[in-house]
Amino acid sequence: MLKSIIKTLLGGIFVAAGAVSVAQAADKVVYQLDWLPGGDKAPIYVCIQKGFCADAGLEVTIESGRGSSEAITKLATGVSDIGSAGIGALMAAKAAEDVPVTAVMSLFNKGPHAFYTIKGTMTTIEDVKGKSVATSPFTESNIYLPLVLEDIGMSEADITLTKADPGALGPMLMTGATDVIIAWLTDVARYTGQAKEAGKELVILPWSAAGLELYSASLVASDKFLTERPDVAKRFLAAYKKSVEFSRDNTREAAEAVAAVVPELSVENVEGSLKDALVLVYNDVTDKDGLGTFEESRLKATWERVSKAQGLDPAALDPESIVDRSFAAGS
């Protein structure tokens, strides 16, 4: 009997010691957001809330962000280890300053840019000619607008473009203060809700209809993190990828994971935004190339668009030099 009790106690001690060892062994990772929390950011919250990160031996904290440029700067300066940013912003930063940041996984393999208008105003993207168009001064879409207009045989002189606070775009469209707004496809649920309240119906015209095919949001990491802790980076990528797949299959639970950390967000709105974002993650490109893949020709085409949009020398950057596919096994 005594031996049994001792065995049980020792077993408990070993389990506790093992738990402490696991806790002590957890590698800390700082994840950098490129924008505010929301449905499109759900996988990192799922990774933490559902234990995928912990199961991979990772203790992950989230750093707030206000745009891709700021996110890349924080990664380059060592504030954060890995996070999300527009690959176009990374390409421009690498071409200009060779920042020590590398893309390791594609998140959006299609551009999120689109025209939103009220039904009856436009039926094709070419119908934007002569319309009043409102956009946020901070959106990446502004970089690509001249290219989209050029693709359909127009220039900015063919539209009346105004810039407004992002929160004002929806009300401007619903009240008729503008014919068209420029917004991302991750906001379909939000603007559809506003239109429904106004008794109106939206028409959404993605810029991919004009031929704007390119990679967009991506996972990017500091070179210091990848060089000094490659095993941690690989475990993070595996856990993150698992979180993306969980978010696709369990949108409600994924939205709840976000709202658990950011309670001012409603689960319904986050779930709507997540469903919008998933279209940019899972589509015909994913079917062909796989989740998270950077395919060579599409990457090259993205740089051609980015360099033209920003007036950069196409020869200033080899797009292959900004990606490392070795960390996202199975992509």
Enter the pTM of the model: 0.82
Q: Tell me which residue of 232, 216, 215 sits closest to 224, measured CA to CA.
A: 232
**Which comes out higher in pLDDT, residue 75 or 151?**
75
Whether 27-110+215-310 shares its CATH topology with 113-210 is answered yes
193-197: which pairs have CB atoms within 8 A and are 24 or more residues apart? Answer: 193/272, 194/170, 195/118
Three-class DSSP category at 114: strand
Three-class DSSP category at 227: helix
Report pLDDT digits (tens) over 244-292.
999 999 999 999 999 999 999 999 999 999 999 999 999 999 999 999 9
CATH architecture of 113-210: 3-Layer(aba) Sandwich (3.40)
Domain limits, the chain:
27-110+215-310, 113-210
CATH architecture of 27-110+215-310: 3-Layer(aba) Sandwich (3.40)
Q: From edge to edge, which strands make up the β-sheet containing 101-106?
A: 58-63, 27-32, 82-86, 217-222, 101-106
**Which comes out higher in pLDDT, residue 22 or 63?**
63
Cα–Cα distance list, 291 to 101, 206, 280 (Å):
21, 21, 11
Mean of per-residue pLDDT scores for the chain = 89
What is the pLDDT confidence band of residue 144, given thresholds at 50, 70 and 90?
confident
DSSP category for residue 327:
S
pLDDT of residue 177: 97
Question: What contacts 306, CB < 8 A, 6 or more positions away?
Answer: 88, 91, 92, 143, 214, 312
Report pLDDT digits (tens) over 111-123.
899 999 999 999 9
CA 227, CA 230: separation in Å to the nearest integer?
Answer: 6
Residues pairing with 99 in the sheet: none
Q: Which stretches of 282-323 are DSSP H helices?
A: 284-289, 296-309
The answer to whether 324 and 102 are in contact (CB under 8 A) is yes
